[in-house]
Chain A
Amino acid sequence: MEGWRIHGAGPGNAAVIPVPPAIQRFPWKLIALLTAITGFGVLVLYSAAGGSFTPWAMQQSVRFGVFLTLALVIGRLPLRLFEEFAYLGYIAVAVLLVAVELLGFVGGGSQRWLNLGFMNLQPSELMKVAIVLALARFYAQLPPGETRGWTALWPALVIIGIPAALVMLQPDLGTALAICASGVIVMFVSGLPFWWFGSTAAAGLAALPVLFSFLHDYQQKRVLIFLDPESDPLGAGYHISQSKIAIGSGGIGGKGFLNGSQSHLDYLPEGHTDFIFATMAEEWGLIGGLALLLGFFLLLRWSTRVALKARTRFGQLVATGLTMTIFFYIAINLMMVMGLAPVVGIPLPLFSYGGSSMLTIMTCVGIILAIENDSKTGTRRFH
């Protein structure tokens, strides 16, 4: 249907404005949406720096330009390429994770990134994408008859378990949860029996206290403080209460651009990264918050539609999994700044200052774009 519209629209409009087909193939609406969200973020970064393009707003804009180009390039790659290299990529990223772990061990302390010279690469970020590709490849190859069998389960658990464990070792609870969430969603939409998920969720709930004891001290503390923020108003609870003060004091219309006292007077910690939503909400109010949510809704609606219309099963599963990855970022971050989740360092996609998360999100967008392009080129095909 999409394919028909695009191919049909070309000649129809050509009479009015002669637009070359290559330009027409550009996903202009998506680019506009991504630019709108990031542009809004850049405005907030400009304000958070006290009305200055440095040190954040300018760099974030440049980075966005680079990564957007990257996403468009990825979107032009044939989907088959991702399918063929899915396992290889997964293994490569897993090796990187082990390398980081070893480096951290040698360096004496926890390390999450590799210095590539021009940027610090966090392999755990790449893993969020790699896990979805690998699992999608696995379920795409799995014969339909095996869907309810043991062979549909254990390889997937191994594929999720290894990186999740490695990331937990770093320790990075947020990313580990993100990896698990995307993986489980791929398993879910690939048609595994419903009751497996239901009973696992129930068992997981029952085992929460045990899992809790496996957490690091500081992680346990964060969870406890989340449950009772007033218990430590100056320590870790400080983040949450100050964030809520920032959002709450913004009201409906906000305090106005460049007028947020919480962020400008340093009461809001991490006002340009993890808590950027609070910085925004203080100055733009509920209206700004709802506008941003609308932006994210449009992005996720687009990627979900791509999943539903994907030509191949691999495409379907990948698009759904990556949608979940993006959603997980958004949901956990917003829950955190509004005091609904413990403080787990997860940035807000496209909005927070930072290269790694933007790279991940734009890679996701690029791959989904590749799936969309793939679905326009031929008939639906499942294998």
Chain B
Amino acid sequence: MVRKSPPITEAWRGITFTRRTLLVGGGQMVVGAALAARMGYISIIDNDRYVLESESNRVNLTLVPPRRGWIVDRNGKALANNRVSLRIDLIPDRLHSKELVLGQLKTLLRLDGDTMERIERDLKAASGFQPVAVAEDVSEGDYASVLVRLPDLSGVAPQRGFARNYPTGAAVGHLIGYVGAPTAEEYKAVKDPLYITPGFKTGKDGLEKYFQPMLRGEPGAKRVEVTARGKVVRELGVKPDEQGKTVHLTIDADLQEYVARRMGRESGAAVVIDCHNGDILSFVSMPSFDPNSFSDGISNSEYSWLRADDHQPLINKATRGLYPPGSTLKPMAAIAAVEHGVDPSERHTCVGGYRLGSRFFRCLGTHGSLDMPSAIMKSCNSYFYWLAHRLGYDAMAPTAKLLGLGEEFQLAGSNQRFGTIPDSAWKMKKYDQAWSASDSLNAVIGQGYVSVNPLQLAVMASRIASGRRLYPRLINREFKNEALPFSAEALGAARHGMDLVVNGPGGTAGRSRLPLDGITMAGKTGTAQVRGLGTGNGKSGTWKFRDHGLFIGFAPVVNPRYATAVVIEHGMGGSRAAAPVAKDFMTFLFDREKAMAALEEFEAGWGGTIKERMDRDYAAWKAGASMGPAPGTQP
């Protein structure tokens, strides 16, 4: 046998073995050296970076949303404060098995599909340790059930925080506004990480929005050592938050709540102003929304319910509602007339109307011979038609403006529609038409082009009562409140007429005298037609087409302290709907017990307090909405 290669012997094999074993051993040493080098590289060259990463693992820095400043009334009573709220957040960086954890949370907290979708969306947008809210305001029970399962729920962070609380609920809805989580746009504008910290809320409406910079406060920070599962091992340091400043309002919280409750099931607004300084004591628009619901993140169905209500609970009627003021403008017209030389004792005979050319303007009665105060008492249209025809409305409009009508006030947090006090120049500009005598006649009884909001009516009442140009205010701002350029005779005639309206023989608000000894109220009722004059009688039929009921007033008659305006939408008449409301809350200002007794009687008839009624209405609406759009088909 011929071999090309040398024969393989045991000796050769032995040498080969030794050589190759040394080769393998050498290879192993090279690998070992490489591993040592690698370890040296990681722990020396990259040490800084990994120390940092290890620290960022270990230490979790979280912003603590500042407690929002309180909003308190004139006596320091809270209109908006904070309550402890339990919340569940997710830390995206620690969420290792997302599906599992979300599934567990869904069951434990009974989250609905919308919420789950929202959480998924937020998780996608969030990064790192920026927490994502799962549920706010969870119950103690649910909180505890998450807490005990925390070891299995990595990434879940239960937190104890604060939520906005409005003790009187819907009574302050329009006044205070509400808070809510900042929107993505707000965050983009400021780039403040606080804005994406769960639990942080900004003012969204009303005073909450207006005073946001004051109420916000400074966030705290918490450094905690946490395990990979998000369990806090210990606190490393805490910088306490700085609570926002307290905002003091001129509002009287008790009165505010009383007025809101006294409005009952009606739709309307009521404003009470202090005749000494223009302080707004009560600023009510009803029905309202519960700002607590908004601040917790209102549900879609509750919002739909509020939107669907024809009483418009989402609109602040005290400043955004414009109404023809009706006869409540007659005291103003009286002042204007006296200022233009009319003698208050001059008499005019009412024959059931006033003839202007070929047209006959009706009065609601046939009042006979009247002087100025008794014309106000009886609310005689004929008398004021006669004045308006004689003086023209251009003589009256400046007085109306001096009394605050048509004016937009610098008022914290309010968004006003200020309406119209017409005159010839206004009409020429707007319609390119000359002012006519019939325009004057319509305007003097608060119809036609005239429109005002309830706040303006209340300011007018306070200015007539005080004789000073009171400027309404919600916070302690200084205004001059100088005397009005009206003669004592003019103001006296108007005030005397208003006194008679309530306390005179056969006054239109005679049934609304205050049930108090020695304290009387002066006022003026108004009934404003919703439809044009002469179409329908406005006293019955569809709610939407009924007349508005209005009332302005002040009390006591001597040395007035409080002025007010009440508007009851479609209340069918000032004396019937508005004056009784004013009577009760004016009583409240002097004798709380008596007023409360009256209110409780009313509420028993209406079916409970505001909250009870709202809850019931909402439940009924939800039941109805879920039944589908086929009402009234059942036998």
Query: Contact string, A310-352, partner B, CB cutoff 8 A, digits 1/0?
Result: 0001001100100110010001001100101000000000000
> Is there a chain B Cβ closer than 8 Å to A190's Cβ?
yes
**Residues of the B chain whose Cβ atoms lie less than 8 Å from the Cβ of A190:** 13, 17
Instruction: List B75-89 residues whose CB lies under 8 Å from chain A.
Output: none
Number of A-B contacts (CB under 8 A): 144
**A148 in contact with B44 (CB, 8 Å):** no
> Is there a chain A Cβ closer than 8 Å to B5's Cβ?
yes
> Is there a chain B Cβ closer than 8 Å to A12's Cβ?
no
**A265 in contact with B9 (CB, 8 Å):** no
Size category, A interface: 35 or more
**B57 in contact with A267 (CB, 8 Å):** yes
> Is there a chain A Cβ closer than 8 Å to B43's Cβ?
yes
Contact A247:B58 (CB < 8 A) given known A144-B10, A188-B20, A340-B38: no
**A251 in contact with B43 (CB, 8 Å):** yes
A200–B111 alpha-carbon span in the complex (Å): 59
> Is there a chain B Cβ closer than 8 Å to A279's Cβ?
no
**Residues of the A chain whose Cβ atoms lie less than 8 Å from the Cβ of B53:** 245, 248-249
> Is there a chain A Cβ closer than 8 Å to B543's Cβ?
no
Instruction: List A234-267 residues whose CB lies under 8 Å from chain B.
Output: 234, 238, 242, 244-252, 261-262, 265-267
**Residues of the B chain whose Cβ atoms lie less than 8 Å from the Cβ of A267:** 54, 57-58, 227-228
**Residues of the A chain whose Cβ atoms lie less than 8 Å from the Cβ of B225:** 261, 265
> Is there a chain B Cβ closer than 8 Å to A185's Cβ?
yes
- Which B residue sits closest to A234, measured CB to CB? B96
- Which A residue sits closest to B96, measured CB to CB? A234
Smallest distance from the beta carbon of A213 to chain B beta carbons, Å? 28
Mark the stretch among A105-113, A121-129, A283-291 that contacts chain B.
A283-291
> Is there a chain A Cβ closer than 8 Å to B235's Cβ?
no
Smallest distance from the beta carbon of A372 to chain B beta carbons, Å? 15
Smallest distance from the beta carbon of A71 to chain B beta carbons, Å? 21
**Residues of the B chain whose Cβ atoms lie less than 8 Å from the Cβ of A316:** 17, 21
Residue in A147, A242, A252, A331 whose CB lies within 8 Å of B35:
A331
**A265 in contact with B233 (CB, 8 Å):** yes
Smallest distance from the beta carbon of B154 to chain A beta carbons, Å? 9
The secondary-structure label for the interface of chain A is helix
A195–B61 alpha-carbon span in the complex (Å): 60
Contact A285:B8 (CB < 8 A) given known A191-B17, A293-B35, A338-B38: no
**A248 in contact with B46 (CB, 8 Å):** yes
**B8 in contact with A247 (CB, 8 Å):** no
> Is there a chain B Cβ closer than 8 Å to A145's Cβ?
yes
**B8 in contact with A147 (CB, 8 Å):** yes
Smallest distance from the beta carbon of B178 to chain A beta carbons, Å? 38
Smallest distance from the beta carbon of B100 to chain A beta carbons, Å? 13
**A265 in contact with B226 (CB, 8 Å):** yes
- Which B residue sits closest to A262, measured CB to CB? B54
**A331 in contact with B228 (CB, 8 Å):** no
Query: Contact string, B325-364, partner A, CB cutoff 8 A, digits 1/0?
Result: 0000000000000000000000000000000000000000
A320–B225 alpha-carbon span in the complex (Å): 49
**B44 in contact with A286 (CB, 8 Å):** yes
Smallest distance from the beta carbon of A366 to chain B beta carbons, Å? 20
> Is there a chain B Cβ closer than 8 Å to A308's Cβ?
yes
**Residues of the A chain whose Cβ atoms lie less than 8 Å from the Cβ of B28:** 300, 323, 327, 331
A188–B21 alpha-carbon span in the complex (Å): 9
**A286 in contact with B38 (CB, 8 Å):** no
**A265 in contact with B57 (CB, 8 Å):** yes
**Residues of the B chain whose Cβ atoms lie less than 8 Å from the Cβ of A265:** 57-58, 225-228, 233
**A144 in contact with B44 (CB, 8 Å):** no
A184–B282 alpha-carbon span in the complex (Å): 93
Query: Contact string, B19-47, partner A, CB cutoff 8 A, digits 1/0?
Result: 01110110011011001101110111011
Query: Contact string, A154-178, partner B, CB cutoff 8 A, digits 1/0?
Result: 0000000000000000000000000
**B10 in contact with A145 (CB, 8 Å):** no
A63–B384 alpha-carbon span in the complex (Å): 111
> Is there a chain A Cβ closer than 8 Å to B14's Cβ?
yes
Contact A338:B42 (CB < 8 A) given known A144-B13, A331-B31: yes
- Which A residue sits closest to B53, measured CB to CB? A245
**Residues of the B chain whose Cβ atoms lie less than 8 Å from the Cβ of A289:** 36, 39, 43
Residue in A248, A317, A324 whose CB lies within 8 Å of B47:
A248
> Is there a chain B Cβ closer than 8 Å to A281's Cβ?
yes
**B47 in contact with A251 (CB, 8 Å):** yes
A185–B42 alpha-carbon span in the complex (Å): 31
> Is there a chain A Cβ closer than 8 Å to B12's Cβ?
yes
Most chain A Cβ neighbours within 10 Å, of B39, B44, B50: B39
A382–B13 alpha-carbon span in the complex (Å): 10
A242–B39 alpha-carbon span in the complex (Å): 15
**Residues of the B chain whose Cβ atoms lie less than 8 Å from the Cβ of A97:** none
**B35 in contact with A335 (CB, 8 Å):** yes
> Is there a chain B Cβ closer than 8 Å to A296's Cβ?
yes
**A296 in contact with B32 (CB, 8 Å):** yes
**B43 in contact with A286 (CB, 8 Å):** yes
A25–B533 alpha-carbon span in the complex (Å): 126
> Is there a chain B Cβ closer than 8 Å to A189's Cβ?
yes
**Residues of the A chain whose Cβ atoms lie less than 8 Å from the Cβ of B16:** 189, 191
**Residues of the A chain whose Cβ atoms lie less than 8 Å from the Cβ of B54:** 245-246, 248-249, 261-262, 267
Contact A290:B36 (CB < 8 A) given known A147-B8, A189-B24, A249-B47: yes
Query: Contact string, A24-67, partner B, CB cutoff 8 A, digits 1/0?
Result: 00000000000000000000000000000000000000000000
Smallest distance from the beta carbon of A160 to chain B beta carbons, Å? 17
- Which B residue sits closest to A190, measured CB to CB? B17
> Is there a chain B Cβ closer than 8 Å to A365's Cβ?
no
Query: Contact string, A122-148, partner B, CB cutoff 8 A, digits 1/0?
Result: 000000000000000000000011011
A166–B359 alpha-carbon span in the complex (Å): 112
**A247 in contact with B21 (CB, 8 Å):** no
Contact A286:B40 (CB < 8 A) given known A191-B16, A293-B35: yes
Smallest distance from the beta carbon of A244 to chain B beta carbons, Å? 6
**Residues of the B chain whose Cβ atoms lie less than 8 Å from the Cβ of A286:** 39-40, 43-44
A323–B24 alpha-carbon span in the complex (Å): 10
> Is there a chain A Cβ closer than 8 Å to B518's Cβ?
no
Contact A189:B20 (CB < 8 A) given known A249-B53, A265-B227: yes
**B13 in contact with A247 (CB, 8 Å):** no
Residue in B43, B57, B93 whose CB lies within 8 Å of A262:
B57
A313–B16 alpha-carbon span in the complex (Å): 12
> Is there a chain B Cβ closer than 8 Å to A373's Cβ?
no
**Residues of the A chain whose Cβ atoms lie less than 8 Å from the Cβ of B51:** 248-249, 251
> Is there a chain A Cβ closer than 8 Å to B304's Cβ?
no
A301–B50 alpha-carbon span in the complex (Å): 34
> Is there a chain B Cβ closer than 8 Å to A307's Cβ?
yes
Smallest distance from the beta carbon of A204 to chain B beta carbons, Å? 17
Contact A144:B8 (CB < 8 A) given known A245-B53, A308-B18: yes
**B5 in contact with A148 (CB, 8 Å):** yes
**Residues of the A chain whose Cβ atoms lie less than 8 Å from the Cβ of B58:** 261-262, 265, 267
Smallest distance from the beta carbon of B324 to chain A beta carbons, Å? 66
Most chain A Cβ neighbours within 10 Å, of B16, B28, B51: B28
**Residues of the A chain whose Cβ atoms lie less than 8 Å from the Cβ of B7:** 145
**B35 in contact with A248 (CB, 8 Å):** no
A116–B5 alpha-carbon span in the complex (Å): 53
- Which B residue sits closest to A149, measured CB to CB? B8
A262–B57 alpha-carbon span in the complex (Å): 8
A190–B28 alpha-carbon span in the complex (Å): 18
**Residues of the A chain whose Cβ atoms lie less than 8 Å from the Cβ of B38:** 338, 340
The 5 closest A-B pairs by CB, nearest first: A248-B50, A249-B54, A266-B228, A191-B16, A249-B50
Return 30 A-B CB contacts under 8 Å, by A number.
A144-B8, A144-B13, A145-B8, A147-B8, A190-B13, A244-B50, A245-B54, A245-B57, A249-B53, A249-B54, A252-B44, A261-B54, A261-B57, A265-B233, A266-B227, A267-B227, A286-B43, A289-B36, A293-B35, A293-B36, A300-B28, A313-B13, A316-B21, A320-B21, A320-B24, A331-B28, A331-B35, A334-B39, A338-B39, A382-B13
Interface residues of chain A, those whose CB is within 8 Å of chain B, are 144-145, 147-148, 185, 188-191, 234, 238, 242, 244-252, 261-262, 265-267, 281, 285-286, 289-290, 293, 296-297, 300-301, 304, 307-308, 313, 316-317, 320, 323-324, 327, 331, 334-335, 338, 340, 382
